[in-house]
Amino acid sequence: MYIVTGGAGFIGSAFVWQLNRMGIEDILIVDNLGRTEKWKNLVNLKYLDYVHKNNFLELMEKNKFQDVTAIIHMGACSSTTEADADYLMENNFHYSQKLAEFCLENDIRFIYASSAATYGDGKLGFNDDHAGLKKLRPLNMYGYSKHLFDLWAQKKGLLDKIVGLKFFNVFGPNEYHKGDMKSVIAKAYSQIKDTGKLKLFKSYRPEYGDGEQKRDFIYVKDCVRVMAWFLEHKEVNGIFNLGTGKARTWNELARAVFEAMHQKPNIEYIEMPENIRDKYQYFTEAKMDKLKRTGCPCDFMSLEEAVKDYIQKYLSQDDPYLK
């Protein structure tokens, strides 16, 4: 059995899709569907059962799940604006500790989601070398909750036994339930379809023009292929960046969206809300050398190829979900 926490969420459901493509259907999904639209991510997927996240730990500790091959822990509050620090501590940090300990005690493969948000403003670079973990200073509580688990795993000497993935700017199908946390590609498609133009934030640093801020955008299909590779290579462990290794500007992303929609670029630059100006990242780029040295295939789709695939095969279709 494969257990995917956050299995109804964005990357989690995409990974269930990847497992299905590998012929694996003996999957337990752990999540909190509540009143969200996440259930729609599951409709096209094949899995064994669903368990609410609040019940899962108790069932796990009572050994209710047998022959578990791996736990892929994507479940977390991923909102960078979440203000309830106690909730993030419990949900993102302590929950992850319990899962990791259970996996190690029972010889179960453990792969978990860290985040590029742990790098803070990026002044210290984006190097996933374990030696630099203690120096990182996340800018928000979400990033800090992820960073705390990375530090705990390091302190416990677990980084040669488990896999942590620092996801950069992931986009793709099955992110529709995320509201304001959806990728700019998903938001841009709707904006352009409705108004014929796209709004991007102005720059407030002289070294960056409007729309020239850069991010490392990576397609969710590439992410789940890497995750599947780690399932099959249990000898490889540690914390790894997961981006393309090539930062691209918002303007380049915008042009890719317009191109995929067969429209001429029409961009309006708007003021950035004051409450996020001091915490805004102007540049992110994953350092990918460490992952490449493992032998993991890192031939990722270009931004233009991925945006075209996302828009033309999913966003523009009646059923935009992975299947």
**Residue 134 bears catalytic tag:** no
pLDDT of residue 280: 86
When the pLDDT of each residue in the chain is averaged and rounded to a whole number, the result is 95
| pLDDT score, position 81 | 74
Q: Could you tell me which of 164, 175, 252 has the C-alpha nearest to residue 214?
A: 252
32 within domain boundaries: yes
The pair of structure tokens assigned to 226 is 């890497």
Pairs from 204-213 (Cβ < 8 Å, separation ≥ 24): 204/272, 204/277, 204/280, 205/282, 208/282, 210/269, 211/249, 211/250, 211/251, 211/254, 211/267, 211/269, 212/249, 212/250, 212/251, 213/249, 213/250, 213/280, 213/281, 213/282, 213/283
At 79 the pLDDT is 76
Asked whether residue 195 is assigned to any structural domain, the reply reads no
pLDDT at 131 over 90: yes
CA distance 219 to 225: 10
pTM flag (> 0.75): yes
Report residue 87's pLDDT band, with 50, 70 and 90 as the boundaries.
confident
- Please give the radius of gyration of the chain, using alpha carbons only, rounded to the nearest integer: 19
Q: Is 142 a catalytic residue?
A: yes
**CA-to-CA distance for 234 and 241, rounded, in angstroms?**
18
Range of lowest pLDDT (20-24, 55-59, 78-82, 118-122): 78-82
CA distances from 80 to 88, 112, 115, 178, 193 (A): 11, 18, 11, 12, 27
Please say if the pLDDT value at position 80 is more than 80.
Answer: no
Q: Is residue 272 part of a domain?
A: no
What's the pLDDT band for 77 if we cut at 50, 70, 90? Answer: confident
% of the chain at pLDDT higher than 90:
88
Q: Tell me, yes or no, whether 13 lies in a domain.
A: yes
Alpha helices (H) in the chain, listed in sequence order: 10-21, 53-61, 85-88, 95-105, 141-155, 184-195, 220-232, 250-260, 274-277, 289-293, 303-310
CA geometry: angle 56, 32, 141, nearest 5 deg: 100
Mean per-residue pLDDT, 194-199: 96
The tokens 């014929």 sit on which residue?
196
Q: What DSSP line would sit under 8-40, residue for residue?
A: TSHHHHHHHHHHHHTT---EEEEE--TTSSGGG
CA 16 – CA 45 distance, rounded (Å): 7
Tokens of 190: 């709707």
Measured torsion, CA atoms of residues 211, 249, 307, 139, in degrees rounded to the nearest 10: -90
The domain total for the chain is 1
Q: Is residue 156 part of a domain?
A: yes
Residue 76 falls within a domain, yes or no?
yes
Query: What's the domain range around 223?
Result: 2-171+217-245+285-300
How many angstroms separate the CA atoms of 17 and 322, rounded? 7
CB atoms within 10 A of CB 79: 16
**pLDDT tens digits, residue range 23-54?**
999 999 999 999 999 999 999 999 999 999 99
The confidence score (pLDDT) of residue 281 equals 85
Has residue 257 been placed in a domain? no
- Kindly report, residue by residue over 249-287, the tens digit of the pLDDT: 999 999 999 999 999 999 999 999 998 888 788 999 999
What is the model's pLDDT at position 21?
A: 98
First vs last Cα of the chain: how many Å apart? 21
pLDDT-above-70 percentage for the chain: 100
Q: At 56, which CATH number?
A: 3.40.50.720
Catalytic residue among 142, 219, 310, 314: 142
Identify whether 9 is part of a domain: yes
Q: Which of 156, 178, 187, 246 is catalytic?
A: 178
Q: Which of 61-70, 79-88, 111-120, 191-200 has the lowest average pLDDT?
A: 79-88
